[in-house]
Amino acid sequence: MATQANSLSYAGCNFLRQRLVLSTLSGRPVKIRKIRARDDNPGLRDFEASFIRLLDKITNGSRIEINQTGTTLYYQPGLLYGGSVEHDCSVLRGIGYYLESLLCLAPFMKHPLKIVLRGVTNDQVDPSVSIENKPWCGFCFVSCHNPTCEKKVPHKAFYFKCIFLLLFTLRFRG
């Protein structure tokens, strides 16, 4: 088992998702310090914590340590397991925020990933679900079942977003 001394070390919240995805693919632990340490609201945001919970659900044996203020994260990845997973995404970011990383990780899982994501399907920052449900490469098949609206969530003045249920399955063609 790797120790924190052998982990990669970063400072700041830049590229947090990418660092965690690459850590998961390489099997190398990562320690990220000073996450918004100088902000009025320091530490991880809700959508980042939700992403970390999602990583924990799709892996087996991950070790995650977050200090009390949320400004330091230690992540030792487990094995990419896959299987059937349900996850409630943060309403602060779109489902595309989570799908981008899942598209990178899903081909390397032990079992096909069948995931139900509940969250905002479209926002101004992240790719919309309609973009993500297209076949994205020759060896993978992505299917997106028709989403059904559960409730509306207010976001900024005059904007409303629906919470949708999405089933995402990625399998090898072969």
Whether 28 is covered by a domain: the verdict is: yes
Whether 174 is covered by a domain: the verdict is: no
Whether 1 is covered by a domain: the verdict is: no
Whether 18 is covered by a domain: the verdict is: yes
pLDDT score for 124: 85
Whether 61 is covered by a domain: the verdict is: yes
Q: How many domains does the chain have?
A: 1
Whether 172 is covered by a domain: the verdict is: no
Whether 3 is covered by a domain: the verdict is: no
DSSP 83-152: EEEEEE--TTSBHHHHHHHHHHHGGG-SS-EEEEEEEES--SSSPPHHHHTS--STTEEEEEPPP-EEEE
pLDDT score for 142: 42
Residue appearing with tokens 């449900």: 133
pLDDT score for 36: 96
Spell out the per-residue pLDDT of the chain, length 174, in tens. 456 768 899 999 999 999 999 999 999 999 999 999 999 999 999 999 999 999 999 999 999 999 999 999 999 999 999 888 899 999 999 888 998 899 889 888 888 888 888 888 778 888 776 654 455 443 343 444 444 444 344 443 323 334 444 444 555 544
What CATH number does the domain containing 12 carry?
Answer: 3.65.10.20
Tokens of 116: 């139900």
Neighbours of 2 (CB within 10 A): 12
Whether 73 is covered by a domain: the verdict is: yes
* Whole-structure pTM value: 0.78
- The boundaries of the domain holding residue 12 are 8-167
